A = this chain, B = another copy of it.
Amino acid sequence: MLSDTTILVALGGNALAPSAALGTVTEQFAQTRAAMDLIMPFIRQGYRLAITHGNGPQVGDELLRVELAADRVPPLPLGLCVAATQGTMGYMIEQSLQNALLDEDIHRDVVSLITQVLVDEHDPALERPDKFIGERYSRDKARQFADRYGWRIAEQEAGVWRRVVPSPRPVRINNARSIKHLVGMGSIVIASGGGGIPAYVMANGHFEGVDAVIDKDLAAAILGADIGAQEMYILTDVPEVYLDFRTDHQRPLRRMTVAEAQAHLDAGQFPTGSMGPKMEAAIQFIRQGGRKVVLTNTESIAKALVGESGTSVYD
């Protein structure tokens, strides 16, 4: 029996890779299969379900393939690399989850969609490329690539140069109507992988890709709202969110209102590189009509689903 509640789960790209180094495809498949233990509790409860996922290590690998082959094979721009990882990771998640469902004699389709995510062409972030992607280079080598491919580059640490791209805010998930329809009929939908393929709407109404990356948790918040999900689970690397994190008076937060979450965020409690965007995503999801967001880690997600772990954000 399907529940009336729709849940969106946002997996980190590292939940699907064996370690920071991505490992072989066999290892990635093994890790992806293991990650399905995080998803199955939601399905056993009969929830309507969508899944989104990061792609950091995976798109890094694809960028490197493109670059190493650039003299022989026309390079793929960043948006097409994201599209490629939506294909490869979508397939791995889809097949792994399908097999886990078969083991429990559950008959629901698992469907992976290629997803464009719309950003605002006037987003000021588009003028401030500050997200490091791809390989590390010497200054000279980085400049060569910059000249050749029109990259923007920046020094990440002394002597280490990398490509930088903007990270605009997601505004709308393309095909949300179709995704909602599939989720409504009980299909489990994998969408908006890697934060989605960034695109904007030109003056003539056409969609056009843009070389950028979108934060996958912020994209998840929009996806959740656009498909009418009531709850969102965001996987992170801690079982609960803490105040005064990594100080000697750090303390877990089990439950917050949106107003409290916003106040803690404004007070600088959540670092911009990690918990900050996740908390922003949580706040946005609730403000757009969501009922609950739970932030937790892979070890605690099953307990979080029954309210025994994790940090919940409510209206």
Interface-side segment among A6-14, A69-77, A150-158, A278-286: A69-77
Q: Which residue of B lies closest to A182 (CB)?
A: B178
Residue in B65, B76, B199 whose beta carbon sits within 8 Å of that of A66 in the complex: B65
Name the B residues within 8 Å of A206 (CB-CB).
99, 102
Q: List residues 114-151 of chain A with CB under 8 A from any CB of chain B.
A: 114, 116
Question: In the assembled complex, which residues on chain B have CB atoms less than 8 Å from the CB atom of A91?
Answer: 79-80, 83, 114, 116, 197
On whether the beta carbons of B116 and A114 are closer than 8 Å, the reply is no
Residue of A61, A80, A114 with highest tally of chain B CB at under 10 A: A114
Give the residues in chain B near A25, CB-CB below 8 Å: 74-77, 80
Stretch in A105-113, A245-253, A300-308 touching the partner: A105-113
Whether, in the assembled complex, A181 has its beta carbon less than 8 Å from a beta carbon of chain B, the answer is: yes
Taking the complex as formed, is A44 at the interface, i.e. its CB lies under 8 A from any CB of chain B? no
User: What B residues does A73 contact at CB under 8 A?
Assistant: 61, 64-65, 68
Contacts of A22 in B (CB 8 A): 74
Chain B residues positioned under 8 Å from A95 (CB to CB): 116, 199, 207, 209
Residue A274 CB within 8 A of the other chain: no
Q: State whether the Cβ of A98 lies closer than 8 Å to any Cβ in chain B.
A: yes
Among candidates B87, B177, B182, residue contacting A87 with C-beta atoms closer than 8 Å: B87
Contact A74 B24 (CB under 8 A): yes
A19 neighbours in B (Cβ, 8 Å): none
A74, B61: Cβ atoms closer than 8 Å = yes
Bound together, the chains give a CA A75 to CA B75 distance in angstroms of 18
Encode A86-105 as 1/0 by CB contact (under 8 A) with B.
11101110110011001100
Residue with the greatest number of chain B CB neighbours at <10 A, chosen from A28, A64, A87, A199: A87
5 contacts between A and B (CB under 8 A): A65-B66, A84-B85, A175-B187, A177-B187, A181-B182
Top-9 shortest CB links A-B: A87-B87, A84-B84, A112-B114, A83-B91, A83-B87, A65-B69, A99-B206, A65-B65, A68-B69
